[in-house]
Structure 1
Amino acid sequence: MRALLVVNPAATTTSARTRDVLIHALASEMKLDAVTTEYRGHARDLGRQAAESGEVDLVVALGGDGTVNEVVNGLLHAGPDPERLPGLAVVPGGSTNVFARALGLPNQPVEATGVLLDALREGRERTVGLGLTSGTPGTEDEAVPSRWFTFNAGLGFDAGVVGRVEQQRERGRRSTHALYMRQVVRQLLGDPHRRRGVITLDLVGEEPVEDLVLSIVSNTSPWTFLGNRPIYASPQASFDTGLDVFGLTRMSAPAVARYGTQLLTSSPERGPRGRHAVTRHDLTRFTLHSKVPLPLQMDGDHLGLRTSVTFTGVRRALRVIV
């Protein structure tokens, strides 16, 4: 087996020594080429090259969710084809590692490498669904390139939090859960639309759902992790179904207290609920429109401002070694 290891040298939880140990372990089981990323988008370019070469059987992403997202977008540049394209394996090295943990992998890179090697020896793999975003025809975002995401996306509030965290990281702050919580509070206090939303959920065959303040799209569950605690915005979301949506029509102080508590105490059986909560399960295609430009995030990566985004749930899009 020939494999490409894509290494993010800025991965939060791995040292140079740990990376060397992981590379040695993987190279003992396969013909391995290891490449260290040098710029934003490099992992995407490497994934695309691996897909187009026809010579790579497996691409291993060593890094956080952003690295995984780039590799996936490179692999699927020309569209999904699980039987032909290289498989994907993930060694978690970021601060949260939602995709890897949602697949059931350990959150420690050394342990995850052991699981990966066992899976390769035993032939364990699964084909997972992914989310795809595109510009909405007839809008100013029509020409925006399509992009895949692995576990979640958001338009509005949560994307604003991601943007604030990225700004802090550019100033040298470490990506910690405490940093995220501080930015949640600041985003809440500074959000001019938290009492009356500007987002509309447009579904085929249904009346539009208007005035959303918050819109979270999930491709799997949990939505994210707070330390070791999983947070379930859409408990039914799964790699084996379409996309799920969780939205809120109010973020007043009482609503924030109520739904924030529900998120922190959520479980695989029970997510947030109430008269201001909007939930949809197993959607194939829908659009989120906004009356004003709002931030968009995918897999924890801030992608700028958008007024309209179309989402598609693509089943069985990518082969993953687990």
Structure 2
Amino acid sequence: MRAVLVVNPKATTTSERSRDVLVRALRSEVDLEVRYTRRRGHGVLLAREAVRDGVDVVVTLGGDGTVNEVVNGLMTGGGPDGGGRARADDLPALATVPGGSTNVFARALGLPRDWTEGTSVILEGLRTGRSRTIGLGLADDRYFTFCAGFGLDAAVVHRVEVARRRGRVSTPALYLRSALGQYVFGAERRHPSISLERPAEAGEEQLATVIIQNTAPWTYLGDRAVNPNPDASFDRGLAVLALRRLRVPSTTRAVAQILSRTPDPRGREVLRLPDLDEFSLVSSRPQAYQLDGDYLGERSKVRFTSVPAALRVIC
């Protein structure tokens, strides 16, 4: 079995020594090549090369950003001339060793948070041939594995990224402070401008912020799963939670419901739409936009599509 290990050398929870341990462990099971990402977007190119080279498995060592890049490389490297979508069985399988600060995708698959324990699970999966096929989300022409955000959620991600570039460590406290700061000082609360449009369905207008999930949980605060749509699944369509207004009482209530042990957000200002195949978000003002926790700038329109049975994963 041939495999490629795509390593983000800046992965926050691993060292050069631990990477060497991982390489030796993988080489005991597969014919392994190791490739390092050198810049943003490099993981896409490395995964496309792996598809064209006909490898059996692509293993990632990094955070959710590394996984997202590799997934996009796999999904866009297997069609005619490397530009279309191949069947899941015709693509290399994906194995994810958690190496970032949060690792939502790996944990949503049921992998342990610790990279050494996660490696053991993956090695067993390689030995036994154990895998599952999961669905993905597609936002315009970019795939995502677990979540997307349009509005407040994405603006918070941007604040965190700026803080990390300034040397701050990614912690739950940093996310909470960033969320509070964005809500108080950066959110447009009086005039919601987002509309959700669905084919052959009535639209939803005047939304303030929108969260999209391809699985549950949406994210983690430390060890605590955060679940706006607890029924979201890799085996279903996309799940949406939107807030119509960002008034203090209703927003506080919605956040408390989301963070509860049995999350079930409801209320006049809450919109939940499960299992969607396709929809678009349109705004009269450009909105912050993120996929899999990676801030992608501002957009006025994004089309979302559920892509079922898209990719095989070792877990």
Cα shift at 1:266: 4.6
Equivalent of residue 298 in structure 2, options 305, 309, 313? 305
State the match for 1:75 in structure 2.
74
Cα shift at 1:43: 0.9
CA distance in 1, matches of 2:118, 2:155: 31
Give SS of 1:313's match.
strand
Cα shift at 1:194: 2.1
Cα shift at 1:36: 1.5
Please, what TM-score do these two structures have when normalized by structure 1? Answer: 0.93
Equivalent of residue 125 in structure 1, options 114, 119, 131? 131
CA distance in 1, matches of 2:172, 2:20: 27
Cα shift at 1:51: 1.1
State the match for 1:225 in structure 2.
220
CA distance in 2, matches of 1:21, 1:271: 42
Please, what TM-score do these two structures have when normalized by structure 2? Answer: 0.95
CA distance in 1, matches of 2:90, 2:44: 18
Asked if the contact 2:152–2:187 (Cα under 8 Å) also holds between the matched residues in 1, the reply is: no
State the match for 2:274 in structure 1.
281
CA distance in 2, matches of 1:13, 1:277: 36
State the match for 2:172 in structure 1.
177
Q: Does 1:293 align with 2:283?
A: no
Cα deviation 1:259-316 (Å, max 9, x = unaligned): 111111053xx42111111011111100000110011100000001100000000000
Give SS of 1:76's match.
helix
Q: Which amino acid aligns with 1:86?
A: P
CA distance in 2, matches of 1:309, 1:298: 11
CA distance in 2, matches of 1:290, 1:186: 23
Matches within 5 A, 1:203-222: 203-222=198-217
State the match for 2:120 in structure 1.
114
Cα deviation 1:222-241 (Å, max 9, x = unaligned): 11111101011111110001
Cα shift at 1:28: 1.1
State the match for 2:12 in structure 1.
12
State the match for 1:139 in structure 2.
none
Cα shift at 1:102: 0.4
Give SS of 1:83's match.
helix
Equivalent of residue 99 in structure 2, options 93, 97, 102? 93
CA distance in 1, matches of 2:230, 2:177: 25
State the match for 1:193 in structure 2.
188
State the match for 1:142 in structure 2.
none
Cα shift at 1:190: 2.0
Q: Percent identity among equivalent residues?
A: 53
Q: Does 1:272 align with 2:272?
A: no
Size of the aligned set, in residue pairs, is 308
Question: Which runs of 5 or more residues in structure 1 are unaligned?
Answer: 135-145
Q: Which amino acid aligns with 1:103?
A: L
